[in-house]
Amino acid sequence: MSKKIILSGIQATGKLTLGNYLGAIDNWVKMQEEYECYYMIANLHSLTVRNDPETLRNNTLKIIAIYVAAGLDPEKNNIFIQSQVKEHAELGWILNCYTYMGELSRMTQFKDKSLKHADNINAGLFTYPVLMAADILLYQANLVPVGADQMQHLEIARDIAERFNKIYGKTFVIPEGYITKTSGRIMGLQDPTSKMSKSATNLNDVIFLEDEPEVILKKFKKAVTDSENIVKFDPENKPGVSNLMQIYGSVTSKTMEEVEKEFEGSGYGNFKTKVAEAVVEKLEPIQKKYKELLNNPEYLEKIYKKGADNARKLASKTLDTVKEKIGIII
Ligand code: TYM
């Protein structure tokens, strides 16, 4: 029996965070044996905000290096750059014509980003979820492992696929989301009521994957908790402590009950240090490998070229089927 297919990706904007790692990449690593995997760098999605061209190019390569350093075996996974498989933009356009303004207007990410970039609310920002739907549907992906913030986009991808299938007969596989309970939504360290984000203005709110161990330790020590001094999982009333517990649980593969037990009677000072140490222990080997890979751009190029060649095979097959069904001469 052929393996089920996974597709996921990360935008090439900004520096990757511990949220990106725990919510997405770390899960992908665990799934690589069981599935046929396509992991892309969403550099077309990055264009919805203004980028310095050189930075965008560098970020794209950095993310490929992070994928591999984190444990994605380039022999087993198809790692590629979205723009190098032209089918994404093409299917994106077609699907635009099967997506309604009303449903796009409801996207919370669009609303958030419009507020943040009030001077640049471009059409790409609005149709962003359609391109994401194209990314997923081109590969007939069964599963899309993402963080909780992407769930709404996944829902719209499912809706578009169902709509298309209804009109033209079964064309697309309807994808399922895969979000883990403990790491699906890693929150900010200073504001544990909103998600840890690349674009945070307070740098103490976010752990970047490139942060040095001392910086990581310092940021965790400053993390907002509460006055109870009890390590107990209660996201509603103790968001700061619960978030630290989820981070700790994710990097050590422990349940919340195990974490509670481990830190029974321990104050927050010791707890925060232990969380920081566990994160450093997890990230240090990745950082070391990442630096080595960045010094080997030829190897990175081989990976993404091969990834795009493989991706194109599947993507072009789906696109041809779509074109045939809607009456576009191939
Ligand atoms: P992006 O680049 O914002 O984030 C990449 C992945 O990291 C997850 N994530 C988090 N998970 C847990 N806690 C957090 N604080 C956190 N912050 C980010 C995101 O949920 C995501 O899984 N639109 C996508 C990229 C994309 C894509 C796709 C994803 C483009 N096409 C097709 C899946 C399938 C995005 O902007 O993710």
The half-sphere exposure of 27 on its side-chain side, counting CA atoms within 13 A, is 23
Residue 246 confidence (pLDDT): 97
Cross-strand partners of 9: 40
Question: Which atom of ligand 1 has the smallest separation from the CA of 17?
Answer: 17
Query: How confident is residue 117, by pLDDT bands cut at 50, 70 and 90?
Result: confident
Which protein residue has the closest C-alpha to ligand 1 atom 14? 19
Listed in sequence order, the residues at least 6 apart from 301 whose beta carbon sits closer than 8 Å to its beta carbon are: none
Residue 57: pLDDT over 80: yes
Q: How far apart are CA 155 and CA 176, in angstroms?
A: 9
Greater confidence, 182 or 298? Answer: 298
Picking from 83, 112, 86, 109, the residue whose alpha carbon sits closest to that of residue 12 is 83
Judge whether 79 and 304 are in contact, CB under 8 Å: yes
Can you list the domains of the chain with their CATH numbers? 5-179+297-326 (3.40.50.620), 203-291 (1.10.240.10)
**Angle at which helices 53-69 and 297-326 cross, to 10°:** 100
In three-state secondary structure terms, 17 is strand
Listed in sequence order, the residues at least 6 apart from 71 whose beta carbon sits closer than 8 Å to its beta carbon are: 29, 286
Judge whether 143 and 176 are in contact, CB under 8 Å: yes
Mean pLDDT of 293-311: 98
Residue 141: pLDDT over 80: yes
Instruction: Provide the token pair at 111.
Output: 């609303």
Q: Which amino acid is at 188?
A: G
**Enzyme catalytic residues:** 113, 195, 198
Q: What CA–CA distances, in Å, run from 216 to 203, 221, 323?
A: 11, 9, 50
Mean pLDDT of 23-49: 96
Residue 165: pLDDT over 80: yes
Residue 99 confidence (pLDDT): 98
Residue 128 confidence (pLDDT): 97
Q: How far apart are CA 281 and CA 289, in angstroms?
A: 14
Give the N- to C-terminal CA distance of the chain in Å, as an integer: 31
Mean pLDDT of 280-307: 98
Residue 102 confidence (pLDDT): 97
Instruction: Provide the token pair at 42.
Output: 């969403």
Compute the C-alpha angle 30/31/32, nearest 5°: 100
Pocket test for ligand 1, best of 16, 110, 149 (most atoms within 8 A of CB): 149
In three-state secondary structure terms, 208 is strand
- Percentage above 90 pLDDT, the chain: 96
Which protein residue has the closest C-alpha to ligand 1 atom 37? 10
DSSP 22: I
Question: Which atom of ligand 1 has the smallest separation from the CA of 7?
Answer: 34
Q: Give the phi and the psi of residue 39 in degrees, each rounded to 5.
A: -120, 120
Residue 24 confidence (pLDDT): 97
Question: Which atom of ligand 1 has the smallest separation from the CA of 149?
Answer: 20
Query: How confident is residue 250, by pLDDT bands cut at 50, 70 and 90?
Result: very high
Q: What is the pLDDT of residues 1-18, one digit of tens each?
A: 789 999 999 999 889 999
Q: How far apart are CA 238 and CA 260, in angstroms?
A: 13
Give the chain's mean pLDDT. 97
Picking from 183, 170, 113, the residue whose alpha carbon sits closest to that of residue 137 is 170
Q: What is the pLDDT of residues 58-86, one digit of tens each?
A: 999 999 999 999 999 999 999 999 999 99
3-state class percentages of the chain: helix first, strand second, coil last, to nearest 5: 55, 10, 35
Extract the runs of DSSP E, i.e. beta strands, from the chain.
5-11, 36-42, 77-81, 143-145, 176-178
Q: What is the pLDDT of residues 213-226, one digit of tens each?
A: 999 999 999 999 99
Judge whether 321 and 140 are in contact, CB under 8 Å: no
Residue 255: pLDDT over 80: yes
The distance from CA 184 to its chain's CA centroid, rounded to whole angstroms, is: 10
Pairing between β-strand 5-11 and β-strand 36-42 as defined by DSSP bridges: parallel
Mean pLDDT of 268-293: 98
